[in-house]
Structure 1
Amino acid sequence: MASLKEVRSRITSVSSTQQITKAMKMVAAAKLRRAQDNILRMRPYAQRLGGILTNLSTLTEGAVDNPYAVKREVNSVLVIVVTSDRGLAGAFNSNIIKAASALINDKYSSQLAAGRVSVMAIGRKGADAFSKRGIPLVGDYSTIFSNISFDSVRVAAERAMDGFLNGEFDQVEILYNEFKNVATQIVRTEQFLPVEEKPADQMHDSALVAEYTFEPSMEEIVKELIPKSLKIQLYKAVLESNASEHGARMTAMDKATENAGELLKQLKLTYNRTRQAAITKEILEIVGGAEALASE
């Protein structure tokens, strides 16, 4: 059985840890509210713009040159992995890293063997994980989450888009955590480039019925709208991941605080039992000594 000093030391240590996890939970909750507001405002705009992008790519197929929809033989691949800069968020980062590794190993195994798979890591945890595995990293975007803005994400999106246009990458995919609620994050894999075109009977927002009017021209609209929509798509993924991170950290720290509380109960019970045993032993020694003196 541990000594009273050891148990007291553990109680102090666990109490300090509980205070830290409780504070981290409160900080994550405050950040989550802001991040959740941001993504809830962005979603309708991004979804609508994404639907228009898909419809335009289908409607203008053959009529307008759309370099972002060109399908080539997939010899080189870029995987955009959106993680976080910090840990202590449960399985938030490990789920994305596992999903990205599975995608690379299964879907792009031949490209990986030929050394034609690259990773764009948005978030320090993803950069650390894939650099250790020897997969080439494209750019350094590990500090985007320190000050999230459209401009910082736009730079990363343009790097991927330029790489696709100049033939450096034939396929670009994004993996991120989609925010559902505080306790649930869904790992999403989306094709970033080339822009997917849907069959006419699957077009978004009943585009067959609603006819588009192009001003100033179809060529100008496609030239301006498609790059903007791609940047918004990546920006939305970053905002989703940011909200998911704070939700995951809030949940993890809440559970850690509860576990610390349970451990404190056990330690205090152990402390009381150990103290009671020590007192009982001292009483027995005193009684035994008194009896020995009385018998002399």
Structure 2
Amino acid sequence: MANLKEVKGRIQSVTSTQQITKAMKMVAAAKLRRAQDRITQMRPYSQKLSKIIGNVSAGVDTSSIENPYAEVRPVNKVLLVVVTSDRGLCGGFNSSIFKQVRAVISEKYADVERAGNLTILPLGKKANDFYTKRGFNVIDEHHLIFHNLDFTHSMEASDVAMNGFIKGEFDKVELIYNEFKNVATQIVQVEQLLPIEATSEGEEDLSTSTDYIYEPSQEFIFSEIIPKSLKVQFYKALLESNAAEQGARMTAMDQATDNAGELLKELKLTYNRTRQAAITKEILEIVGGAEALAQGG
């Protein structure tokens, strides 16, 4: 049985850890509130815009105008945009992303990876560290984007993917990130950013012979509006991941606080038992000594 000093030291250590996890939970809750407000405001706009862009892209007369963002090419070079957090202590938030990326590569891009044509754009320090250590082709210019997450920095990162696709450096670009559902649930999403795909809703709209009027022109729409809308979709994924991260961290810290409380109960019980055993031993020694003196007298 451990001595009293060791048990007391462990109690103090667990108590300190519990105070830290409580504080981290409160910080995560405050950050989650702000992140949740941002993503709930962005979602309706982003979803409607995505539907419209899918419809317009599918409805364009390719003989009259070329849509460079919808060009389908043989997939020889792929860019995966992997969104994680900068720090840990958020449960399985990052590991679920890494597992999904590995599954996507194995199922769809194994040949591309073997040919050395798979590139990772990590957004988040954890992703950058993970894929750099494993020897992947990594574009590490924007991995600290969550230090100052805003549309300007998101646009700079999305330009890497979009310009690379236009120049033929990548034949397909996919986003892999955690979508925020609630505090306890994050859903890993894999979305094709480029080339633009017509959504299922868009296909239904097109089947009814929807006719679009382009103002000022199709050329303007595809040179200005579509790139901006893609950047909005990109930014929305980052906001989703940010909110999901804070939810995951809040849940993880809440569980850690509860676990620390259970451990403290066990340690205090052990401390009391150890203390009682020590007192009993001292009493027995005193009684034994008294009896020995009495017999000697």
Give the TM-score normalised by the residue count of structure 2: 0.96
Q: What amino acid does structure 2 have at the position aligned with 1:11?
A: I
Seen in structure 2, the aligned counterparts of structure 1 residues 257 and 200 have a Cα distance that, compared at 3 Å, is: closer
Tell me the alpha carbon deviations over residues 109-165 of structure 1, each in whole angstroms, 9 at most, x when there is no partner. 001001000000000000111111111112421111111100101011111111001
Q: Secondary structure at the match of 2:137?
A: coil
Find the counterpart in structure 2 of residue 129 from structure 1: 130
Q: Distance in 2 between matches of 1:73 and 1:273?
A: 71
Secondary structure, in 3 states, of the residue corresponding to 1:180?
strand
Moved more, 134-143 or 37-46: 134-143
Distance in 2 (alpha carbons) for counterparts of 1:82 and 1:66: 27
Q: Which runs of 5+ in 1 are unaligned?
A: none
Give distance in 2, aligned partners of 1:172 and 1:97.
17
Q: Distance in 2 between matches of 1:127 and 1:246?
A: 19
Mapped pair 1:216 → 2:216: yes
Distance 1:33 1:256 in 2: 21
- Return the offset for 1:97: 1.1
Kindly state the Cα deviation for residue 105 of structure 1 after the two structures are TM-superposed: 2.5
Task: Tell me the SS of whatever aligns to 1:119.
Answer: strand
Q: Which runs of 5+ in 2 are unaligned?
A: none
CA distance in 2, matches of 1:74, 1:95: 25
Is the contact made by 1:119 and 1:136 (CA closer than 8 Å) also made in structure 2? yes
Evaluate the alpha carbon distance shift between residue 58 and residue 3 of structure 1 in structure 2; reply closer, same or farther with a 3 A threshold.
Answer: same
Q: Retained in 2: the 8 A contact 1:58–1:200?
A: no
Secondary structure in 2 matching 1:28: helix
1:52 corresponds to which residue? 52
Code of the residue aligned with 2:65 in structure 1: it is: V
CA deviation profile, 1:245-270 (whole Å, cap 9, x unmatched):
00000000000000000000000000
Separation (CA, whole Å) in 1 of partners of 2:182 and 2:200: 33
1:253 aligns with: 253
Q: What is the one-letter code of the residue matched to 2:69? A: Y
Deviates more, 1:52-61 or 1:218-227: 218-227
| Match in the other structure for 1:15 | 15
Q: Which amino acid aligns with 2:215?
A: E
Task: Label 1:2 to 1:198 Cα distance change in 2 as closer, same or farther (>3 A).
Answer: closer
Opposite residue 143 of structure 1, the aligned amino acid is L
The offset of 1:212, in angstroms, is 3.0
Distance 1:88 1:34 in 2: 20
Cα distance in 2 for partners of 1:199, 1:60 equals 16
SS of structure 2 residue aligned to 1:38: helix
Hey, what's the Cα distance between the residues in 1 that align with 2:140 and 2:232?
A: 19
Contact 1:56 1:222 in 2 (8 A): no
Q: Which amino acid aligns with 1:107?
A: K
| Secondary structure, aligned partner of 2:33 | helix
User: SS at 2:247's partner residue?
Assistant: helix
Report the Cα distance in structure 2 between the residues aligned to 1:198 and 1:289, rounded to whole angstroms: 90
Aligned-pair CA distance for 1:102:
1.7
After TM superposition, give the deviation of residue 294 of structure 1 in Å.
1.4
- Deviation sequence 1:203-224 (CA, Å, 0-9, x none): 45x7847643321122212221
Question: Percent of pairs identical after alignment?
Answer: 60
Distance 2:210 2:112 in 1: 41
In structure 2, the residue matched to 1:119 is 120
Aligned alpha-carbon RMSD (Å) = 1.5
Total equivalences in the alignment: 295
Question: What's the offset of the Cα at 1:172?
Answer: 0.6
Partner AA of 1:181 in structure 2: N
Q: Greater shift after overlay, 99-108 or 37-46?
A: 99-108
Aligned with 1:134: secondary structure? coil
Q: Name which of structure 1's ranges 193-202 and 57-66 shifts more when overlaid on structure 2.
A: 193-202
Q: SS where residue 81 of structure 1 aligns?
A: strand
Equivalent residues of 1:178, 1:186 under 8 A apart:
yes
Deviations 1:169-188 (A, max 9, x none): 00110000000000000000
Matches within 5 A, 1:1-296: 1-62=1-62, 63-198=64-199, 202-203=203-204, 208=208, 211-296=211-296
Q: How far apart are residue 49 of structure 1 and its match?
A: 0.7
- Cα deviations across residues 82-114 of structure 1 (Å, max 9, x unaligned)? 001110000001100111122112210001001
What is the deviation of 1:201?
7.3
Whether the aligned pair in 2 keeps the contact of 1:76 and 1:111 (CA below 8 Å) is: yes
